[in-house]
Structure 1
Amino acid sequence: MTSSLPKVPKASTSSWATVAGKKKKKKAKEQAPPPLMSSSKAGPSAGPNASPKAGAKAGPRVGPKAGRRVGPKAGFKAGHKERPKVGPKPSRLPTSAAITVTVPEDSDVTLAAVMAAAKARIKLADFGVDTVRTKRAITGGLILEVSGPDCSSKADRLAERMSVALKDLGVRVVRPVKMGELRLKDLDDSVTPQEVQTAVSTSGDCSVINVRVGDIRRSPTALGTVWVRCPLASVRKLAAAKHVVVGWVSARVDYLTSRPLQCFRCLEYGHVRSMCQGTVNRSTLCYACGKPGHRASQCTDPHRCPLCSDKGCKADHRMGSKKCTPPKGKRKPLDPAPEGKVAPTNGATQSDHRFRKLIMEKNREETPMMYMS
């Protein structure tokens, strides 16, 4: 009886060094890119499977720009498209409605007396309002915020009732609406500001009273552009549409970011005219050249910012432009100079570094030991 034994494979006659070398060559051949072909050197037998020349080493191609990535931009996947640049987006709509109560400056009535009379004469429950949130306005008045569903209509009715109930006290009750700014482009020569106002009111679903339109600026080489101010809800709607029909023209719409708070008396930022404590009145100066007697829209003189000029900064620009960077912060007077020394004049402040440096240098020349550490 014979038993069936499994067949044993024949031993390979190749050595281990020979097998390892074959694997290494095969792997290098798979990783190597196809050789570049030129019309002058390529022969009839050249092809993708042509064997390399004798003595040539298999490996990655090395060229004049070795290591530089060719193809899509570094950091992006294949087929990735760069995102288009997006302009500024309009602000969000407020979730509450406001009512402002202001007392005239020459009035003897106080806000305390006004609010006491309002509480005695008006009941919030009649308008569907439980409570209001109060804030102090930057003008010194009082802000009453009505929140909740249908807050706009409730605030409108409450403001109307307060105007009638507090009429004998001589206060000013206003129902303010948050506004935004736009720029309309590509207006033909026949378009008037009244047409723009009507078109914005119709397309933005707002009252004509709440739409302000500036002067249309035209030039010989471009179509007209105009500045528009209207309620924020209308601004968001028109900015999303990107066009508005004005007469026969489909005008382009650009959203303008909100400007910083500015005083129109001293032209400095951070406060309003009614709360201004500055000693300089620049309200009659032109925003373009800094001279009095005309408006910036009618100015033909070279640009010179009146605010940066007084602050000692570079002033070869129009006030409010991107180049306008007056020093920020509160103004603090310099410390009094020692007896017999030069004291700061013309209202110099600690932000006037050049003026302060000149003073210290002159005092140091007279008494150098005083400034030694």
Structure 2
Amino acid sequence: KKKKAPAGVVKEPKTAAVLLTVVPDSGITQAEVLRQATGLLTEVPGLSTIRLKRAQSGGTLLQFPGGEGHRTADEVSSAMRRVLGDTPGVRVGRSMKRVELRIRGLDDSVTKEEIVGAVAEMVGCGAEDLAVGEITRLPGRLGSVWLRCPVAVSNKILEEGMPRIGLVRTAAAPLPVRRMRCYRWLEVGHGVANCKGVDRIGRCHRCGDRSHYMKAC
């Protein structure tokens, strides 16, 4: 009988992707950037199949299917950064499906850097693929922290358990998927690039007040 997967384990994407974003009013158009990108793609060895898709953020997703998709996406991303990295208003990055976890059981000696190092060593990923929030320490409880990571990293953590960090072995639990939020209008369902609502930049993302930010709300 097939063993049931732990809660929170999700199916990994079949394609790897590179996200190409052009900031509005930056003096360069999406068409100009794509023309430069087309010239770069012809220089990547072994590139045969590529799919284009419009991202929710307004950028362009270059998707590479197949077993060599991740290797190809890494090469394309590196080549684009070399040529377009210094262009004002143009952003190039590897687009990976990410999930969020809550790590619990942290003793008072543990730091954010130790958490990133332990997870990266366990799963064999780069520290740049991980995002860690501030450690929360409440009276009478061990610390906990928010972690965002690629699906492959999250699945391995949930299947094999967290490594020992500090004095004890920590625990991880999946967090609910959050809908995309526009940080211009503070509404969900779309990104800043597609926003036609009221400009609320500089306000608390929780209550909309300008006197403080969400962390202090």
TM-score class, shorter: 0.7 to 0.9
Cross-structure match for 1:89: 8
Q: What is the Cα deviation at residue 145 of structure 1?
A: 0.6
Residue 163 of structure 2 aligns to a residue whose secondary structure is strand
Of the three residues 58, 72, 89, the one matched with 1:140 is 58
Whole-angstrom CA distance in 1 between matches of 2:82 and 2:135: 39
Q: Contact 2:106/2:166 (CA < 8 Å) preserved in 1?
A: no
Cross-structure match for 1:227: 146
Whole-angstrom CA distance in 2 between matches of 1:283 and 1:270: 20
Whole-angstrom CA distance in 1 between matches of 2:132 and 2:209: 26
Q: What amino acid is the match of 1:127?
A: P
- For the pair 1:284 / 2:203, whether they are aligned, the reply is yes
Whole-angstrom CA distance in 2 between matches of 1:115 and 1:297: 38
Q: Contact 1:266/1:281 (CA < 8 Å) preserved in 2?
A: yes
Cross-structure match for 1:76: none
Q: Contact 1:183/1:254 (CA < 8 Å) preserved in 2?
A: yes
Cross-structure match for 1:106: 25
CA shift in 2, pair 1:295/1:118, >3 Å = closer
CA shift in 2, pair 1:121/1:89, >3 Å = closer
Deviations 1:226-246 (A, max 9, x none): 111122211111111233311
Task: Number of aligned residue pairs: give it.
Answer: 212
For structure 1, list consecutive stretches of 5 or more residues without a partner in the other structure. Answer: 1-85, 300-373
Q: What amino acid is the match of 1:259?
A: R
CA shift in 2, pair 1:280/1:157, >3 Å = closer
Q: What amino acid is the match of 2:211?
A: G
For structure 2, list consecutive stretches of 5 or more residues without a partner in the other structure. Answer: none
Whole-angstrom CA distance in 2 between matches of 1:190 and 1:167: 38
- For the pair 1:128 / 2:43, whether they are aligned, the reply is no
Q: What is the Cα deviation at residue 166 of structure 1?
A: 4.3
Q: Contact 2:77/2:94 (CA < 8 Å) preserved in 1?
A: yes
Whole-angstrom CA distance in 2 between matches of 1:127 and 1:137: 26
Q: Percent identity?
A: 35
Of the three residues 244, 264, 288, the one matched with 2:163 is 244
Residue 142 of structure 2 aligns to a residue whose secondary structure is strand
- For the pair 1:218 / 2:146, whether they are aligned, the reply is no
- For the pair 1:153 / 2:71, whether they are aligned, the reply is yes
CA shift in 2, pair 1:128/1:250, >3 Å = same
Q: Contact 1:286/1:293 (CA < 8 Å) preserved in 2?
A: no
Cross-structure match for 2:173: 254
Q: Contact 2:6/2:158 (CA < 8 Å) preserved in 1?
A: no
Whole-angstrom CA distance in 1 between matches of 2:71 and 2:131: 23
Of the three residues 193, 199, 215, the one matched with 2:118 is 199
Greater relative contact order (CA < 8 Å, ≥ 6 in sequence) = 2
Q: What is the Cα deviation at residue 286 of structure 1?
A: 5.7
Whole-angstrom CA distance in 2 between matches of 1:183 and 1:119: 41
Q: Contact 1:182/1:227 (CA < 8 Å) preserved in 2?
A: yes
Of the three residues 102, 105, 115, the one matched with 2:34 is 115
Q: TM-score, normalised by structure 1?
A: 0.52
Superposed CA RMSD in Å reads 2.4
CA shift in 2, pair 1:113/1:255, >3 Å = same
Q: TM-score, normalised by structure 2?
A: 0.85
Q: Contact 1:135/1:143 (CA < 8 Å) preserved in 2?
A: yes
Cross-structure match for 2:81: 163
Q: Contact 1:286/1:292 (CA < 8 Å) preserved in 2?
A: no
